[in-house]
A and B are shown apart, each in its own frame.
Chain A
Amino acid sequence: MHYLTDIILIALGAALINNFVLYYFVGICPFIGVSRRIDMALGMGFAVTFVISIAALLSWTITTFILAPGAPVSKWVAGFFVSPEAAAQVDLTILSYVVYIFAIASSVQFVEMYVRKFYPSLYRSFGVFLPLITTNCAILFACLIIFSRIVGVDNPADAWDIGRALTLAAFGGVGFTIAITIMAGIREELELCDIPKPLRGAGITLIVASVLAMAFMGFTGVDSGLRKVLAPAAVESAQSAEK
């Protein structure tokens, strides 16, 4: 039950409360560039969600098994050369950025080839966005969050498992899709408006995005309220522990 509550709250958090675009400011470039039409926006959103999930899977696996301090594979390999105590202290987190970007670039390439072969109609609708996603901040950002939840926790038992990591990534992509589609709808309406010349294009998009961000700020506090509803026992024990 506790696990399900966690998953729901992570999903809600990633999609709405801490929306990747409107709260964390990642993925702004495609947000402004591809949000002209709803069908293009949806295509971009699906592509991002797809790639972000695969990238999260890869980065969680590599971090947990190779990069984290005391990770199984590194410990085993180092065990051949040094004593077991020293092997347990091997810490390869310095490689994290390089490894993540490498994994993202390769997985994007792989996904593009796979989709082109087996789903040609899908490829025609969003295949053109796939190379653009390699430099999308949102993918790397999801990987970094997962990294901080595995390596940055004080208690190793609290390190995120694959389910939580995938939920964060997938629903982060869903949040990105929601934001970019709403923006596309608004921009389609703006086509007919008389916008002053200096603000046309990116200027008015950013101003509309600020109003959208303000609207999404209305979601703050939903997760703590929901936590009280879904897991009142845990909240009570935490409060009594503070007292």
Chain B
Amino acid sequence: MIWVTVSLAAGTLVGMAVAMSYVLGWANRTFYVEVDTRVEAVIDALPGANCGGCGFVGCSDYAEAVVSGRAPVDRCSVGGSSCAAAVAEIMGVEVARSWPYRPIVHCGAHYDDRLYRSEYRGEPTCTAANLVAGVQGCTYGCLGFGDCERSCDFDAIHVIDGLATVDYDKCVGCGACAKACPRNIITMIPFKYEQMLAVTCSNKDIGDEVKIVCKVGCIGCRVCSRFCSLFTFEENLPAIDYGNYCTDFMDQLEKAVKKCPRKGIVFIGKPSPKDLEAVEAHPLPRVIESDFKTTVDDTEWRG
């Protein structure tokens, strides 16, 4: 009797194995999905950081989009122009030279420069603080709660002394910080050189009102545009034409920087050796960690 059971058991298992192999083999052939071999090659060429900077969910998603023709070959900001060239070679297209895009924070006010700040006890995020009136006097500028810092996968933007500051050595230009900022004061611009000129203010109010809320905000005096033609003015705020920006204008730009009464136009980007030398002796800026103690935290419970 036991031999009947054993042989039946063995027979069942073998039968199941054979049946499943047939079914899975058939399914493998019938449900075969055509995968373009170029997708694998493109995935290999991409850096594989899955940062989402190209606008797709991950590197494999972008690779599939490129091979199916839905996306251009030079979207990867992490890989840069070398990666774009490699992908273009796989796809058999030409790629024009493009510049890396890097973020600029259009605000120059640290904690002490901002006036009319009040105690905020809500969610410690910029998105939430932006909805509440009166967190700080300036309704355009950086709030300093670190939404951009949390969105960065590359540790390239930090809130230092209340102001979002980009570390251009680490930044790869994925654009996550620009998307995260609820006040839209971070913009991505093409970095044609290691250091670019930037207007570090977003306040569109007239000069008197700006002076009330900020010690370093732009007052719209238009001195910069008098010295350099790259500045255009819109609603009391200068904007630099980055399309035509080039070093031919350097002496004009330097004059505009010197003449700005609020010292709000600065060169930003990777520090040059001269800059590093100049700050060697200085102490590092202090990083403020928010301490969200409420008024009841230290009281004794008298209930």
Contacts and interface: CB of A to CB of B under 8 A. Distances in A.
Nearest to B17: A102
A106 B23 contact: yes
A92 B8 contact: yes
A86 B31 contact: no
Nearest to A89: B1
Interface in A186-202: 192, 194
A92 B9 contact: yes
Contacts of A228: none
A109 B24 contact: yes
Contacts of B17: 102
Interface residues of B, number: 23
A231 to B, nearest CB: 39
Interface in B1-49: 1, 4-5, 8-9, 11-13, 16-17, 20, 23-24, 27-28, 30-33
Contacts of A95: 9, 12-13
A71 to B, nearest CB: 10
Contacts of B5: 90-92
B271 interface: no
A86 B1 contact: yes
B208 interface: no
Interface in B94-133: 123-125
B8 A113 contact: no
Residue of B23, B31, B123, B292 ringed by the most chain A CB atoms within 10 A: B31
B11 A77 contact: yes
A92 B13 CA distance: 11
Interface residues of A, number: 30
Nearest to A194: B292
B31 A82 contact: no
Contacts of A192: 123-125
A110 B24 CA distance: 6
A111 to B, nearest CB: 10
Contact of B8 (A77, A99, A118): A77
B20 A102 contact: yes
Contacts of A116: 31, 33
Given A92-B9, A116-B31, A106 B4 contact: no
Contact of B4 (A86, A94, A114): A86
B31 A113 contact: yes
A81 B4 contact: yes
B215 to A, nearest CB: 31
A113 B30 CA distance: 9
B131 to A, nearest CB: 14
Contact of B27 (A62, A74, A94, A114): A114
A87 to B, nearest CB: 8
B164 to A, nearest CB: 19
A74 B8 contact: yes
Given A81-B4, A82-B4, A86-B4, A110 B27 contact: yes
Contacts of A99: 12-13, 16
Interface of B: 1, 4-5, 8-9, 11-13, 16-17, 20, 23-24, 27-28, 30-33, 123-125, 292
17 contacts: A66-B12, A67-B12, A77-B8, A82-B1, A89-B1, A90-B5, A90-B8, A92-B5, A98-B13, A99-B12, A102-B16, A110-B23, A113-B31, A114-B27, A117-B33, A118-B31, A192-B124
Given A89-B1, A194-B292, 13 more contacts: A74-B12, A78-B4, A78-B8, A81-B4, A87-B4, A92-B12, A94-B9, A95-B9, A99-B13, A106-B23, A113-B28, A114-B31, A117-B31
Interface of A: 62, 66-67, 74, 77-78, 81-82, 86-87, 89-92, 94-95, 98-99, 102-103, 106, 109-110, 113-114, 116-118, 192, 194
**Across the A-B interface, the 8 shortest Cβ-Cβ residue pairs:** A117-B31, A113-B31, A106-B20, A113-B27, A192-B123, A95-B9, A110-B27, A82-B4
